[in-house]
A and B are shown apart, each in its own frame.
Chain A
Amino acid sequence: MLEKADAPRRWDTLERSYRARIERGAAFADGKIVRRDETERFLEAVIEPGDRVCIEGNNQKHADFLAAALSKTSVEAIHDLHIVQSNIALPPHLDVFERGTARRLDFCYAGPQGLRMARLVAEGKIEVGAIHTYLELYSRYFCDLTPHVSFVAADAADADGNLYTGPNTEDTPAIVEATAFKSGVLIAQVNRIVDKVPRVDVPGDWVSFVVEAPKPHYIEPIFTRDPAVITEVQVLMAMMVIRGIYEKYGVTRLNHGIGFDTAAIELILPTYAEDLGLKGKICRYMSVNPCPTLIPAIESGFVESIHCAGSELGMEAYTAARSDVFFIGRDGSMRSNRIFCQLAGHYSDLFIGSTLQIDLEGNSSTATLSRITGFGGAPNFGSESRARRHGSEAWLKAGREQRLSGEMPRGRKLVVQIVETFGDGMSPTFVERLDAWELQKTFDMPLPPVMVYGDDLTHLVTEEGIANLLLCDTMEERAQAIRGVAGYTPVGMKRDREMVARLREKGAVQYAEDLGVDKRLATRDLLAARSIKDLVAWSGGLYDPPSRFRNW
């Protein structure tokens, strides 16, 4: 029997809230265009205490003007926000916590702000919901962390709010989709307002307001690695990767982490791999930002197609002129998309990246005791893709080596960590126990912050050799294979030499001579480019490096 309802349930509270916010915000705008001088009061009008707010801030572009404006709003008007954003990179991102504008935080990566973040967490000014991987955080935008208000960064907008992101589309589509279709207020910071945008990356009717920033949003060239500082040891490791992994498995689809180790691999494709006759057989399709060190491999015909999570400063004209390789819009500039790039990389044959610490199970972490940094893209790229069904030579071969019990054949993604046995300041990369455990205790986290789990890892490359963990049958063998390439670190010196010799016989540990790698070739002469200027030359003058990388 129906009882008399107290009051009918409202099913459009979000929509009604949206309309009220738009109406309040309209007082500070002409149409969709917010009057810049009134940005702070505008934010006080559209944001409510306790809102979930996303400030687009990713690897490269940042809604920096809006972030700074938020950090100057009245704490009476706006407080206790729950910030849900991928990158904490700029001081205002933490200023909002320092002053009480925001309290709770879900994020992916803190980078240079990691030290200050750790302090604010310790002082109780930040309650960390979780440190996510990129795909997890985006996923939760579509689940329980949907933003009420999002700030995104774009290159240009028109009066209707159509946005042009330029080559750095990055996280924008994920944020926009989640916000605009769940009655959220979407505010775009743009470098310029134009009559007609070069291409529509975000349709105007998804965009609530636009602010023209006083100066172009901040972009950092974080994927540029100067070949001038690649060492002979890194060249040696790159040679071992090409012979011992790329050639052996026939890896054609892959993701490279960002670092000098992987830059060295990219730069010896046109020399070392070419001489081995590997062109067309390895490294054909990549999920990676347009790193300048890829230019020689593209120009020499190794890499045929690249999808990018974001762009890289100075690579705009080069990518635009290589539309066979990069994903390019009708306007002629690149389109990036972090979520799709992460997905493509997740289902490719191989991930290779670097880390700061590895334990005897192969767990790795970039966390150090004094800072909270997060993970970046590595955990999604660098994990076994268990949902994968399609076969490829590399994936099936790795699956056969794994020899799982049971009858059912399975493939295996290759997940490779490449490290020198000692890092900066002679700190050993190999440890009996990760600092991550200590960090878990210090910051009261549910899990130690591990970047790549040992059971996802298949190969470990050091200057001493390669440990193939697929061929290790027991945890004891795995630990000895890791010790067997850990060099003169305390972990490496404690190896059981007989067991390592046995592992070497079955290929679970391989040194340069076992791989047919001639150490005498491991010099910088093997690099197809040894300077930024060489990269410019390879690009036919299309690559325009930021001034800080020049020496001419």
Chain B
Amino acid sequence: MINFEFLLGHYNYWAVIVLFLIGLYAMIVKKNLIKKFMGLNIMDTSIFLFYISMGDVEGGVSPIIAHGGGSEVIYVNPLPSVLILTAIVVAVSTTALALSLIIKIYEEYGTLDSERLVELMGW
């Protein structure tokens, strides 16, 4: 017995899973080094979405104590967003390093095709 309400109710997780798998697929299948890395970025983005959506509370407002705001206000959980801010910084620095390496690879080898590179390297 499949619980459709449960499955559809968590549509955000489905989006995350689909994005994660698209990213993983691109990393494994694509030959171009830049496309491989774009796959990784898609994968990272899916994880960011996962974090942010899990911190969301239905009907919640941004967690800033407004002037005169009572205690009955529901706030969204700010911690996952804070965590993901750090993770985004990590992803950006990885991306920057990877792209600079890719530039160097293209300068040295004249190609970005991973199969061609493996041939050139003799691995």
Asked whether A and B interact, the reply is: no
